[in-house]
């Protein structure tokens, strides 16, 4: 049975918690079922019980007393439940319901075996819970690095003008670009305990290894060649000085940043290279053709 935990404001104040006035507890409550007052608490520990992360309140607090499995001594107050557990909502609850108080913190959802008057019970925003003894708290940046490993950075699709299947000419600029379809941010998430991180990779540059000892760095995907626009220009091209067969390799570089919910943290993970793509290019010397003139004396 899920019950409404009613604790006098004076007791909550003594326990380091306060009762919020009768107003919506958060903006992200589309069904209105939690539109009545909620409460704040602080401290306590987070522990994993049967695969569920639970908040263990300070034993001396009213929340801790309500967690006792036995009923209170004397006449039972029908509005004061007991045997309460507090399931931690984690980052997903914060994302849905919004931040309910001081950070770091999270929503916890009470479930009680004793009597009560409301079902379901509204959640409580708990600020600064600590990992229980014996539980190792993973640093948020480590979780972010795990998220970054699952970004799935794409290898670029090489495009050239003249096309890479045709010979390139010595002394004539070859346009270089990668498919614009790959030029967009990628995101991935990872979680550990109450911490969820999001890694975002944004493409920043393409480095071209031209196979003859030279490299070209283009700050963007490059400009696709359009034969219907003969006066168009590009800032991403290369001119071979000698003939030969070369392996051209394109590597797309990504700037990776991260943010976290359930813990403080965020920032940059630096620039990371995605998988490279290569093509074989034949470069030939252009030939001038002389033709005999006709006519004349």
**pLDDT tens per residue, range 98-125:** 888 888 888 888 888 776 545 567 888 9
d(CA 159, CA 179): 7
Which domains are delineated in the chain?
9-131 (no CATH), 140-284 (2.60.40.10)
- Is the predicted pLDDT of residue 30 greater than 90, yes or no? no
What pLDDT sits at residue 277?
A: 93
Q: What is the pLDDT of residues 66-90, one digit of tens each?
A: 787 766 666 666 666 677 888 888 8
d(CA 21, CA 7): 14
Q: What is the pLDDT of residues 168-183, one digit of tens each?
A: 899 999 999 998 888 9
What pLDDT sits at residue 294?
A: 55
Q: What is the pLDDT of residues 143-162, one digit of tens each?
A: 899 899 999 998 899 999 88
Tokens 């490993």, located at residue? 149
Q: What is the pLDDT of residues 198-246, one digit of tens each?
A: 999 999 999 999 999 999 999 999 999 988 887 889 989 999 999 999 9
What pLDDT sits at residue 128?
A: 85
Angle at 151 between CA 147 and CA 154, to 5 degrees: 165
Tokens 């498919």, located at residue? 179
Q: What is the pLDDT of residues 247-268, one digit of tens each?
A: 999 999 999 999 988 778 889 9
* Pairing status of strand 168-169 against strand 277-284: parallel
Local structure of 65: helix, strand or coil: helix
Going from the C-alpha of 134 to that of each of 46, 137, 262, the distances in angstroms are 11, 9, 20
Residue 92 CB partners (closer than 8 Å, separation 6+): 196
What pLDDT sits at residue 180?
A: 87
Q: What is the pLDDT of residues 54-65, one digit of tens each?
A: 888 888 887 788
Question: Model pTM?
Answer: 0.54
Q: Which residue has the higher pLDDT, 141 or 20?
A: 141
Q: Provide the β-strand partners of residue 251.
A: 207
3-state secondary structure 80-135: CCCCCEEEECHHHHHHHHCCCCCCCEEEEEEECCCCCCCCCCCCEEEECCEECCCC
Q: Say if CB 78 and CB 34 are below 8 A apart.
A: no
d(CA 260, CA 214): 41
């Amino acid at each position: 049975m899920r019950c409404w935990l009613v604790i006098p404001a004076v007791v909550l104040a003594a326990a380091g918690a306060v009762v919020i006035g009768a107003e919506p507890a958060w903006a992200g409550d589309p069904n209105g079922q939690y539109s009545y007052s909620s409460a704040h608490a602080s401290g306590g520990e987070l522990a994993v019980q049967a695969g569920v992360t639970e908040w263990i309140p300070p034993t001396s607090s009213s929340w801790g007393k309500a967690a006792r499995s036995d009923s209170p001594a004397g006449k039972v107050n029908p509005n004061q439940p007991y045997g309460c557990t507090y399931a931690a909502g984690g980052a997903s609850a914060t994302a849905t319901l919004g931040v309910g108080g001081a950070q770091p913190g999270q929503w916890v959802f009470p479930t009680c075996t004793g009597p009560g008057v409301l079902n379901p019970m509204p959640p409580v925003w708990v600020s600064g819970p600590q990992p229980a003894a014996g539980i190792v708290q993973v640093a948020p940046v480590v979780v972010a690095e795990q998220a970054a490993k699952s970004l799935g950075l794409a290898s670029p699709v090489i495009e050239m003008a003249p096309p890479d299947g045709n010979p390139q000419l010595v002394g004539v600029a070859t346009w270089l670009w990668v498919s614009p379809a790959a030029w967009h941010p990628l995101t991935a998430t990872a979680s550990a305990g109450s911490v969820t991180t999001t890694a975002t990779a944004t493409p920043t540059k393409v480095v071209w290894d031209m196979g003859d000892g030279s490299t070209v760095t283009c700050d963007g995907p490059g400009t696709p060649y359009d034969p219907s626009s003969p006066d168009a220009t590009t800032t991403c091209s290369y001119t071979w000085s000698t003939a030969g067969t070369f392996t051209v390799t394109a590597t797309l570089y990504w700037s990776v940043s991260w943010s976290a919910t359930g813990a403080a943290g965020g920032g940059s993970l630096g620039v990371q290279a995605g998988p490279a793509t290569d093509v074989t290019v034949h470069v030939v010397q252009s030939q001038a053709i002389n033709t005999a003139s006709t006519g004349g004396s």
